[in-house]
Structure 1
Amino acid sequence: MATQYSIQGTTAKGIAASVERGVTEGELAPGVALPPVRRLAEELGVSAGTVATAYKELRRRGLVVTHGRGGTVVAEAASAASRRPPRVPPGLVDLASGLPDPAFLPVLRPPSEIRPVYGSHRAAPRLTALEDLTRAWFARDGVPAERVTFAHGALDCIARLLSVELRPGDAVAVEDPGFHHLLDLVTALGLRMVPVAVDEEGMTPDALRTALRAGVRALVCSPRAQCPTGASFTPRRRDELAAMVREFPEVLVVEDDYNAQLAGPEAPTLAASGLERWAQVRTVSKRLGVDLRWAGLAGDPVTLARHDGRMLMTSGWVSHILQETVVGLFSDPAVARLVAAGEVAYAERRQALIGALGSCGIRSAGANGLNVWVPVRDESAVVNGLRTRGWWVAAGARFRIASPTAVRITTSALDVAAARRLASDFAEVLGEAQATYEG
């Protein structure tokens, strides 16, 4: 019960604002129960309907969730708070970041000279050279790229796409487990998430069919290196999902191809499947630098026009200094070699941990990307147990809606010897947890 924070207000708006203030300031932590409607109404001297209206607004905005007889509690990913990752305690190996190894990121060299222009870049927001490179990048995987545009990263792009297409309360199909920042974003936009189960080939057909029939207005998915499981579409799965989506032409399909390689084999993608409403966003943060807040976007003409129309009214354009920097990186052969070396190293390190865990009898998933997803019975026990042994891993709760418990381990900087030590420690922690359950 929320006993250390006093909720105030005499109107529904005031009560909701008071709760939001408590969440934002950290006084109402995730999972804390709010007072029952009638009790809070008596304390504040208002009607039960006023409190119920306040709680309804808080639920719509993703600040709280209601568990039937379990009452109303602060959401695990309350959208009012800026949920930045916790600081890694000193002395621990950080395996929770999801970030690339800096050894395989190039040194960023912004252009030495950008001539000032009269007015702004709104009339010509994109550099022709970067447009050409972006078209070629998409076309390599068969994605129609006659038209492309830019944004300030994948989440910025997806937020704009969803906000111009949907209204609060509309349903969005998302992967479960899925990218935690995307799940937070959908909630913050006031949209309703419909979880779609994921296996080693991405979204499962049965789960997607159920979501489409439930009336979702949009679908957000990853064609490869799905976060957190590492799943990637096969051609067969891509074709199955595309056939379903074509039965619902009004549904906007947004592919977050955040792990798109700069070179290499083609990847199956829904964006190349002849859909009516679609968009694919690609970023370079995992390959060229986490501070490069740039994304390329391809899509159908209506979707791109709506995206650019909204962007014109807000930030206007992506910095031309940033665009020039990306052009230089895309065009540098030394950068291409460094990125290719990183691709090889990431695969070796990921497979090293999967193999080491397997030798200890521990099942895990991670066919692609920078992470390994490990199903466990008790996330907290595993996270805390590994912490006492010097490892900092991510609890799966941030990534899940209805899928089973697990932990996510970032392997981008984990060498083979360290992977073996981690697997051994992981097995010990699971043994201790088993003894607790059976003891």
Structure 2
Amino acid sequence: MSDTIEASWFAEKIANRTIRGIALGTRALIRAGALPIGTRLPPIRDIAYEMRVSPATISEAWSELRRQKIITGRGRNGTWVSGDRFVAKPERLASSGNYGPGALDLTKAVPDATLLPGLAEAMAYGASVQNLNSYERSRIVKELEEVVSPRWPYSAEAFLATNGGYNAVYTALHALVSPGAPVAIEHPTAMRLLDILEDLGARIIPVACDEEGPLPSSLSGALQQRPTVFLFQPRLHSVTGTTVSPRRLDLLGDILAGSDALIIEDDGTGDISAMPPISLGSRFPERTVHIVSYSKTLGPDLRLAVLSSSPAIVDQIQSYRSFSAGWTSRILQAAGAWLLRDPSTQQVIAEARDIYQKRRDGLAQALAHKGIHIPPGSGLCLWVPVASEQYAMVTLAARNIAVNPGSKFSIMQSNHIRVATATLSSRCEEVADAIALANTL
């Protein structure tokens, strides 16, 4: 096979002339090796002519393949086969580097394993849960619902246990949002959320934020594009460490009252925040999905989160889950309930919260002494402004310090770096010196 093919040859190989049929047929040719990587595809109009379909049909099929990164290029410059991988991967997460043993890795804003509660007693308790080994697709075990309900920021009508916070977001979006639909989301936001939206093929609409949360004017502008969902992190923003103020939440609610967009609230850090849980669920119970993850406080291997919404929405999400696991382990749910009731576990969480705050504040104060001021906040990382993102990454890497570029957390340009502080128990001055040097450009 040469580096180019004829439109007539291509048309002969594709039997199904629908958008989906053309996309699937092209994938099959690539998988079979008939279209090797590097092959230049014929112009859209030539293929459309040979297939007796509209150019728009070919263009839509190409858009699907381009989203999957199977083909690349567009317009007069031509289109090429660029990949033979048909299972999507989270590009932002997958692009994390592998660092040597001597590197100070500040890329992962994850909990310090030494500050997590022990699971032995909780797991032993979980093994005695009611209906153990039943194939009934239950939504949430009764005792977990009983312990989370009083802590919930509003009186929810229905609950559902999921396999972690991102699993809840992924499942909710795929159950409720059509591929290609517009979704409004904070700028910046968690890179995992952007990976999920891009996998869904959503049209991402960024909503600018300040120290109080999403800007009402920016949300209002985003709603003009009629997004299906507004996705945000009201209690503790996982990137910037800010919390949506009650005043701002009211303003956002006033704006959303004029929209029919679903509201997905991601509380991914839970009680690492000292602030009480907040939600628009009491105002819009029929279209709010509120998600609380327990990975950062109880441990990631517990694989546990809980979401709430209206019975109709929870039923839709549960129906989607029935294609796969169907329910979250009752053992893990009961273990989670035990930990949430256990006073000693709550003390461990409180102590961890204080330590995380001191570590974050320690680097923020060291940066302030260098003239780099970070807004007050909490959590597991700092969102640090830099003169040049690329220069900052190179400068820090030269000093064996690894951080994440701000570009991973937005589809917009952002001269920032994200520095994880959860395990930064020392070396704050060293990191601050390196960041200050990176800002001398």
TM-score (norm. length: structure 1) = 0.82
- SS of the aligned residue for 2:344 comes to helix
- SS of the aligned residue for 1:237 comes to helix
Aligned pair 1:331/2:341, yes or no? yes
TM-superposed CA distance for 1:58, in Å, is: 2.2
Aligned to 1:279: 289
For 2:32 and 2:297, locate their aligned partners in 1 and report how far apart those are by CA, in whole Å: 38
TM-superposed CA distance for 1:317, in Å, is: 1.1
Aligned pair 1:172/2:183, yes or no? yes
State which of 371, 388, 391 in structure 2 corresponds to 1:378.
388
- Kindly indicate whether the alpha-carbon contact (under 8 Å) linking 2:266 and 2:290 is maintained by their aligned counterparts in 1: yes
For 1:278 and 1:21, locate their aligned partners in 2 and report how far apart those are by CA, in whole Å: 45
Change (3 A) 1:145 1:256: same
TM-superposed CA distance for 1:425, in Å, is: 1.5
TM-superposed CA distance for 1:127, in Å, is: 1.9
Aligned to 2:244: 233
For 1:62 and 1:173, locate their aligned partners in 2 and report how far apart those are by CA, in whole Å: 23
For 2:378 and 2:177, locate their aligned partners in 1 and report how far apart those are by CA, in whole Å: 32
State the AA in 2 paired with 1:289. G
TM-superposed CA distance for 1:335, in Å, is: 1.2
- Kindly indicate whether the alpha-carbon contact (under 8 Å) linking 2:172 and 2:317 is maintained by their aligned counterparts in 1: yes
- SS of the aligned residue for 1:271 comes to coil
State which of 129, 133, 137 in structure 1 corresponds to 2:151.
137
Aligned to 1:303: 313
Aligned to 1:418: 427
Aligned pair 1:57/2:64, yes or no? yes
Q: What aligned pairs does 1:50-199 form with structure 2 within 5 A after superposition? A: 52=59, 54-61=61-68, 80-83=88-91, 84=94, 85-109=96-120, 110-111=123-124, 113-114=127-128, 120-122=134-136, 124-138=138-152, 141=153, 143-199=154-210
- SS of the aligned residue for 2:238 comes to coil
TM-superposed CA distance for 1:89, in Å, is: 2.6
TM-superposed CA distance for 1:69, in Å, is: 8.0
Aligned pair 1:392/2:402, yes or no? yes
Aligned to 2:19: none
For 2:410 and 2:322, locate their aligned partners in 1 and report how far apart those are by CA, in whole Å: 34
For 2:348 and 2:114, locate their aligned partners in 1 and report how far apart those are by CA, in whole Å: 9
State the AA in 2 paired with 1:429. A
- SS of the aligned residue for 2:290 comes to strand
For 2:72 and 2:242, locate their aligned partners in 1 and report how far apart those are by CA, in whole Å: 29
Aligned to 1:213: 224
For 1:64 and 1:233, locate their aligned partners in 2 and report how far apart those are by CA, in whole Å: 41
- Higher mean C-alpha deviation, range 92-101 or range 261-270: 261-270
Q: What aligned pairs does 1:252-263 form with structure 2 within 5 A after superposition? A: 252-261=262-271
- Kindly indicate whether the alpha-carbon contact (under 8 Å) linking 1:366 and 1:373 is maintained by their aligned counterparts in 2: no
Q: Deviations over 1:115-148 (max 9, x none)?
A: 896973425453211110111221xx3x223421
Structure 1: 5+ residue stretches without partners: 435-439
- Higher mean C-alpha deviation, range 189-198 or range 209-218: 189-198
For 1:304 and 1:353, locate their aligned partners in 2 and report how far apart those are by CA, in whole Å: 41
- Kindly indicate whether the alpha-carbon contact (under 8 Å) linking 1:365 and 1:372 is maintained by their aligned counterparts in 2: no
Question: Alignment identity in percent?
Answer: 28
Let me know the Cα RMSD of the aligned residues: 3.5
Change (3 A) 1:18 1:105: farther
Q: What aligned pairs does 1:233-252 form with structure 2 within 5 A after superposition? A: 233-248=244-259, 250-252=260-262
Aligned pair 1:428/2:411, yes or no? no
State the AA in 1 paired with 2:171. R
Q: Deviations over 1:61-118 (max 9, x none)?
A: 576787878887989xx98235434323321111111101112101222126448969
- SS of the aligned residue for 1:286 comes to helix
Structure 2: 5+ residue stretches without partners: 4-8, 15-21
- Kindly indicate whether the alpha-carbon contact (under 8 Å) linking 1:228 and 1:371 is maintained by their aligned counterparts in 2: yes
- Kindly indicate whether the alpha-carbon contact (under 8 Å) linking 2:107 and 2:403 is maintained by their aligned counterparts in 1: yes
For 1:71 and 1:402, locate their aligned partners in 2 and report how far apart those are by CA, in whole Å: 26
For 2:286 and 2:131, locate their aligned partners in 1 and report how far apart those are by CA, in whole Å: 39
- SS of the aligned residue for 1:253 comes to strand
- SS of the aligned residue for 2:108 comes to coil
Aligned to 2:330: 320
- Kindly indicate whether the alpha-carbon contact (under 8 Å) linking 1:151 and 1:295 is maintained by their aligned counterparts in 2: yes
Change (3 A) 1:231 1:69: farther
Aligned to 1:437: none
- Kindly indicate whether the alpha-carbon contact (under 8 Å) linking 2:238 and 2:268 is maintained by their aligned counterparts in 1: no
- SS of the aligned residue for 2:363 comes to helix
Q: Deviations over 1:271-308 (max 9, x none)?
A: 23345411100011111112121111111222122222
- Kindly indicate whether the alpha-carbon contact (under 8 Å) linking 1:34 and 1:71 is maintained by their aligned counterparts in 2: no
State the AA in 2 paired with 1:427. A
- Kindly indicate whether the alpha-carbon contact (under 8 Å) linking 1:16 and 1:55 is maintained by their aligned counterparts in 2: no
- SS of the aligned residue for 2:439 comes to helix
- Kindly indicate whether the alpha-carbon contact (under 8 Å) linking 1:101 and 1:413 is maintained by their aligned counterparts in 2: yes
TM-score (norm. length: structure 2) = 0.82
